[in-house]
């Protein structure tokens, strides 16, 4: 055995169930059906994720902070984002992101919408109502007070939260961290504004709206917003795909996140939850939709191996919504740290596969 799985199981249980909550029946029944050996329990428990009661407590914390802000702010809307919303988090005490969205203005992709309207082949596939929405969108003028509005929202939010909570960290440019004691959770308040592209006007569904996150500078002239992100579409895609494969997509995502966390050098592995989502989503569902939990380990290994050995495939891999490359930098060069991290994760999964084979052999010998 390359790893001490009894120790890893204990560490995993402390992370996903720190209060020792009695597992709900579906969790405990599923664990009861596997051989009571460390490696099998570890893999199964890693894929299951967090006891649902912890997830509900994270959402409760987010709602409490939202209610405080909502009572005193005007022209804002609120949304949650992050792994809690896809149930791919791996910590019982998971933070939750609360997007606080300024409603005084929105940004839209003028050039992209014009490009869509100029594309005859694309327009032929749109109906009159969709074309009308696109045309009306580009008729809008510019708005020059966006950064000022966002800074004011950030400042107002800091003041409100500081009055209601004893620990508020305002030092991070992208978020305000609020630490609650009941429930014991951190909530990251992220200031943002809406961003609408062609897809949103064509589909006319809220999940297609993007956001641009505000980054607070030392002074107002240093403020900026990040490039558009589409968290709600990503959440929807993961949840829908996972349902179509009976929960197996999220099992693989959780497994990779757990393995990274338990690797002993997780800080040097530069692959994030965002990256693991894309890596697992890229796998052909027909290759794993009927896999057992042990088979999923091999499925994950094969995917990592394909990406590691095939630079063309690796460098064409994009985020779930297709707007960001996973292994390339913004200048088009390959991100060597992420490639090294991919190799490290492949090695980690390979060791688990080797240990599975050894333990299965031991089980047969014992019988």
Nearest CA among 186, 195, 183 for reference residue 161: 186
Residue 345 lies in a domain: yes
For residue 38, the model assigns a pLDDT of 86
Q: Any idea what the CATH number is for the domain that residue 149 is in?
A: 3.30.460
For residue 18, the model assigns a pLDDT of 86
In this prediction the pTM is 0.92
Q: Show which of 206, 230, 254 is a domain's final residue.
A: 230
Do 120 and 173 share a structural domain?
yes
Backbone angles phi, psi at 168, to 5 degrees: -135, 120
Cα separation, 162 vs 65, in Å, equals 11
Q: Show which of 207, 230, 253 is a domain's final residue.
A: 230
Do 285 and 155 share a structural domain?
no
Residue 33 lies in a domain: no
- H helices, E strands: number in the chain: 15, 7
Backbone angles phi, psi at 284, to 5 degrees: -60, 120
Do 219 and 128 share a structural domain?
yes
Do 264 and 156 share a structural domain?
no
Residue 173 lies in a domain: yes
For residue 141, the model assigns a pLDDT of 78
For residue 23, the model assigns a pLDDT of 58
Distances (CA, A) of 28 to 31, 41, 48, 94: 5, 11, 11, 21
Do 253 and 341 share a structural domain?
yes
How many domains is the chain partitioned into structurally? 2
Q: Show which of 165, 197, 230 is a domain's final residue.
A: 230
Do 155 and 274 share a structural domain?
no
Supply angle C-alpha 30, 34, 36, rounded to 5.
Answer: 120
Do 92 and 226 share a structural domain?
yes
Do 345 and 196 share a structural domain?
no
Do 194 and 59 share a structural domain?
yes
Asked whether 269 and 60 are in contact (CB, 8 A), the reply is no
* Residue 124: domain span: 54-230
pLDDT in tens, the chain (367 residues): 678 999 999 999 899 888 877 655 555 555 555 555 789 999 999 999 898 899 999 999 999 999 999 999 999 999 999 999 999 999 999 999 999 999 999 999 999 999 999 999 999 999 999 999 999 999 977 788 999 999 999 999 999 999 999 999 999 999 999 999 999 999 999 999 999 999 999 999 999 999 999 999 999 999 999 999 999 999 999 999 999 999 999 999 999 999 999 988 888 999 999 999 999 999 999 999 999 999 999 999 999 999 999 999 999 999 999 999 999 999 999 999 999 999 999 999 999 999 999 988 886 654 4
Residue linked to tokens 């709602």: 63
Nearest CA among 231, 182, 229, 223 for reference residue 58: 182
Do 68 and 212 share a structural domain?
yes
Cα separation, 351 vs 367, in Å, equals 25
Distances (CA, A) of 209 to 135, 139, 240, 317: 17, 19, 18, 22
Cα separation, 361 vs 359, in Å, equals 5
Asked whether 112 and 195 are in contact (CB, 8 A), the reply is no
């Amino acid at each position: 055995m390359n790893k001490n799985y009894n120790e890893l199981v204990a560490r995993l249980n402390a992370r996903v169930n720190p209060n020792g909550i009695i597992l709900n029946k579906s969790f405990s029944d599923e664990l009861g059906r596997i051989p009571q050996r460390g490696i099998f329990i570890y893999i199964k428990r890693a894929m299951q994720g967090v006891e649902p009661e912890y997830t509900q407590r994270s959402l409760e914390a987010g709602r409490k902070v939202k209610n405080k802000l909502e009572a005193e702010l005007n022209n804002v809307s609120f949304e949650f984002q992050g792994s809690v919303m896809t149930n791919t988090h791996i910590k019982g005490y998971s933070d939750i992101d609360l997007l606080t969205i300024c409603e005084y203005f929105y940004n839209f992709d003028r050039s992209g919408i014009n490009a869509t309207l100029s594309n005859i082949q694309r327009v032929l596939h749109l109906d009159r109502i969709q074309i009308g929405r696109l045309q009306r969108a580009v008729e809008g003028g510019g708005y020059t007070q966006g950064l000022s509005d966002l800074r004011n929202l950030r400042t107002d939010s800091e003041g409100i939260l500081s009055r209601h909570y004893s620990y508020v960290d305002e030092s991070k440019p992208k978020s305000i961290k609020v630490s609650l004691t009941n429930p014991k959770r951190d909530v990251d308040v992220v200031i943002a504004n809406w961003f609408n592209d062609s897809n949103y006007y064509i589909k006319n569904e809220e999940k297609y709206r993007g956001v641009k996150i505000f980054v607070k500078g030392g002074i107002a002239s240093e403020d900026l917003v990040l490039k558009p992100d589409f968290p709600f579409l990503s959440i929807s895609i993961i949840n829908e795909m996972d349902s179509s494969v009976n929960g197996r997509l999220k099992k693989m995502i959780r497994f990779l996140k757990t393995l990274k966390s338990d690797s002993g050098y997780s800080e040097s592995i530069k692959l994030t939850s965002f990256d693991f989502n894309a890596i697992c989503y890229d796998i052909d569902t027909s290759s794993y939709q009927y896999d057992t939990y042990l088979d999923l380990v091999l499925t994950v290994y094969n995917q990592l191996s394909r990406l590691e050995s095939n630079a063309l495939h690796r460098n064409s891999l994009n985020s779930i919504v297709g707007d960001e490359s996973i292994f390339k930098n913004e200048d088009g060069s390959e991100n060597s740290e992420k490639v090294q991290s991919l190799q490290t994760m492949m090695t980690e999964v390979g060791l688990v596969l080797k240990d599975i084979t050894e333990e299965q052999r031991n089980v047969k010998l014992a019988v």
